[in-house]
Amino acid sequence: MKKAELMDFDKALELYEPVLGFEVHVELNTKTKMFCGCANEFGQGANTNTCPTCLGLPGGLPQVNRKAIESSIRLGLALGCDIAEASRFARKNYFYPDTAKNFQTSQYDEPIAFNGSLTIELESGRQVTVEIERAHMEDDAGKLTHKGGATGRIQGADYSLVDYNRGGVPLVEIVTQMIEGGEADSPEIGKTYVAAIREIVKALGVSNARMEEGNVRCDANVSLRPRGSNILGTRTETKNVNSLRSVERAVRYEIQRQAALLSAGGTITQETRHWHEDTGRTSAGRPKSDADDYRYFPEPDLVPVAPSREWVEELRATLPEPPAARRKRLQADWGFANLEFQDVVNSDLLDAVEATIAAGASAQAARKWWTGEVARLANVAGVAADSLVQPHQVAALIELVEAGTLTDRLARQVLEGVIAGEGTPLEVVDSRGLAVVSDDGPLIAAIDEALASQPDVLAKIRDGKVQAAGAVIGAVMKAMRGQADAARVRELVLERAGSAE
């Protein structure tokens, strides 16, 4: 296969205007599925969470999960949407082994939420308002694995296996209107928009919001319009874009690929494309065809959802502070420079740092410990930093450092003890005997001994060659097994050397 040619990104933008659109699927974290009482959880054995309803067996009857409706309304409100006074489900008919019912229960002409908008801020400070066309509810499909043929690919597989545990899990699909005027920021707009959605659903608590586990999934639509034209180009829909960085890369790739194709006199095929994380490319999937005739019709087994205005207002009152506003407030409160604050945000440590400061730590110390030693240990262990240690423990550790009980080096050992489950920082200090020796007695004894065994150094110090004290300080720190405050040792060495006459 001929490798797709890419046009230089800047050149592509000179010739064409990118037009974007995003469909983000959010998996809700309800206890049960959308239309049945099967558990909404993964990591279980295959096909352990199924019933006649989610398997589409005769006699199955869907029943709407109230919590899923509540989460969908709250998400709609957080996106500035209107909530429908009357909303209903529809069957989207298609035959594919990932859905045993042969239709997806979705919403067609009466989505639960519509007409919203979300303003995002790019790194340059540019604000972009993304108009939300609709947010509708639907159920997820099962999970397919392909066996035989080229590893894991659907093409040429000998057969496929299906696990329906995910089939019927509640989803909200958020559909944007066309985003024009993105220009060179288009890839960043994609990334920032999906990050903003992820942040909102996390703050609402309606989803686990882990992209790596497929809780938030993005389809990116890209088309190019020749400069000076007002006719929209043919768009492609890139599926499978499941990390923020991939959204950015996939949008950039499609702009460059389509520009190369168009400028060479080619045409864009309206098709779904697959994103390949490893190669950073998209490849053609299925072209739009007759098979996209989904023959939607109202779901006869479900009655309409008509949320009362009172219920909607009750739910509106439960909305948290919008994440973007919260970030602005926290950065100002903490007095962090942009880079310091970004470091915290990018490490997903905003909540941890906030809780640590609330527990009494200074903002800078909380930031330093979380993005430094805790993040390092978490990285080594391959887990999230905030799952490793509690904010109040980090605050207690910082307090011990600031009180002079621990040096930074000792505090790192204490942190390891806390993470190993040895107790609170204070308990670890006691059990491991890690406190700085603050009683000068043992220090003075060690210093006198070191000075006596190095008379030449003693002579130099007395001659005013203060740098020579380093050798004695080193010997003392070694004798104290590092459990001494080096600054205090230095002070005492100079004092003892002076008084030893």
Cβ neighbours of residue 308 under 8 Å, at least 6 residues apart?
none
Which of 149, 266, 372, 442 is the binder for other proteins (CB under 8 A)?
149
Query: C-alpha angle with apex 112: 107 to 115, nearest 5 degrees?
Result: 110
CB of 180 vs other proteins, minimal distance in Å: 34
Joined tokens for residue 104: 């997806």
Contact call for residues 28 and 206 (beta carbons, < 8 A): yes
- Quickly tell me which residue has 């948290």 as its tokens: 320
| Shortest reach from residue 280's CB to other proteins, in Å | 20
Q: For residues 475 and 496, what is the distance between their CA atoms, to the nearest angstrom?
A: 15
Phi/psi-derived region of residue 335, left when phi > 0, alpha when psi is between -120 and 50, beta in every other case: left
Closest distance to Zn ion from the beta carbon of 164 (Å) = 8
Q: Please give the size of the binding site for other proteins, defined by CB under 8 A.
A: 57
Query: Is 310 a binder of other proteins (CB under 8 A)?
Result: no
Tell me phi and psi for residue 251, to 5 degrees: -65, -45
Please, what is the minimum distance in Å from the beta carbon of residue 257 to other proteins?
18
Determine if 7 is a binding residue for other proteins (CB under 8 A): no
Residue 154 lies near other proteins (rule: CB under 8 A): yes
When binding is defined by CB under 8 A, the residue of 48, 127, 346, 387 that contacts other proteins is 48
Give the long-range contacts of residues 52-58, CB within 8 A, separation 24 or more. 53/168, 54/100, 54/139, 54/164, 54/167, 54/168, 55/100, 55/101, 55/164, 55/167, 56/99, 56/100, 56/101, 56/102, 57/100
Q: Which stretch binds other proteins (CB under 8 A): 51-59, 229-237, 337-345, 392-400?
A: 51-59
Q: Does 304 bind other proteins (CB under 8 A)?
A: yes
93 near other proteins, rule: CB under 8 A? yes
Our CA angle for 107, 108, 110, nearest 5°, is 80
Out of other proteins, Zn ion, none, which partner does residue 359 contact, by CB within 5 to 8 A per kind?
none
One-letter amino acid for residue 499 of the chain = S
Binding segment for other proteins (CB under 8 A), chosen from 127-135, 209-217, 305-313, 379-387, is 305-313
Give the start-end residues of each E strand in 213-309: 216-226, 236-241, 271-276, 281-287, 297-298
Please choose which of other proteins, Zn ion, none residue 500 contacts, taking the beta carbon within 5 to 8 angstroms, the exact cut-off set by kind: none
Q: Does 97 bind other proteins (CB under 8 A)?
A: yes
Residues of this chain, 354-383, that bind other proteins according to CB under 8 A: none
CA atoms of 254 and 166, how far apart (whole Å)? 30
Contact 394, 361 (CB under 8 A): yes
Nearer to other proteins, 303 or 459 (CB): 303
Nearer to Zn ion, 54 or 415 (CB): 54
Stretch that binds other proteins, among 66-74, 206-214, 400-408, 492-500 (CB under 8 A): 66-74
Count CB atoms within 10 A of the CB of residue 70: 18
Would you mind telling me the total number of residues written for the chain in this entry?
Answer: 501
The whole-angstrom separation of Cα 183 and Cα 122 is: 13
Q: Is 145 one of the binding residues for other proteins (CB under 8 A)?
A: yes
Closer residue to other proteins (CB): 157 or 426:
157
x/- mask, other proteins, residues 69-88, rule CB under 8 A, reads x----------------x-x
Is there a contact between 331 and 341 (Cβ–Cβ < 8 Å)? yes
- Picked from other proteins, Zn ion, none, the partner binding residue 164 (CB below 5 to 8 A depending on kind) is other proteins
Do 462 and 494 meet the contact criterion of CB atoms below 8 Å apart? no
Query: Cβ closer to other proteins: 59 or 464?
Result: 59
- CA–CA separation, 330 and 482 (whole Å): 38
Q: Give me the least distance between CB of 289 and other proteins, in Å please.
A: 11
The CB-of-159 to other proteins minimum distance in angstroms stands at 6
Is the CB of 302 or the CB of 384 nearer to other proteins? Answer: 302
Told to check if 50 binds other proteins by CB under 8 A, we report: yes
Give the burial string for 319-346 (b: 16+ CB within 10 Å, else e).
eeebbbeebeebbeebebeeebbebbbe
**C-alpha neighbours within 13 Å on the C-beta side of residue 499:** 9
Nearby residues of 190 by Cβ (< 8 Å), 6 or more positions away:
20, 22, 218, 220, 247, 248, 250, 251
Q: Which residues bind Zn ion (CB under 5 A)?
A: 36, 38, 51, 53-54
Residue 283 Cβ vs other proteins, minimum distance, rounded to whole Å = 9
- The reply to whether 233 sits near other proteins by the rule CB under 8 A is no
As measured in angstroms, the least distance from the Cβ of 107 to other proteins is: 12
Choose the binding region for other proteins from 38-46, 72-80, 225-233, 358-366 (rule: CB under 8 A): 38-46
Stretch that binds other proteins, among 58-66, 181-189, 199-207, 450-458 (CB under 8 A): 58-66
Cβ at position 111, least distance to other proteins in Å? 15
Residue 501 contacts other proteins per CB under 8 A: no
Ordered DSSP codes for 339-406: HHHHHHHHTT-HHHHHHHHHTT--HHHHHHHIIIIIHHHHHHHTS-GGGTS-HHHHHHHHHHHHTTSS
205 binds other proteins (CB under 8 A): no
Contact residues toward other proteins (CB under 8 A) are 30-32, 37-39, 45-52, 55, 57, 63-69, 86, 88, 93, 95-97, 144-147, 149, 154-164, 290-291, 293, 295, 298, 300, 302-307
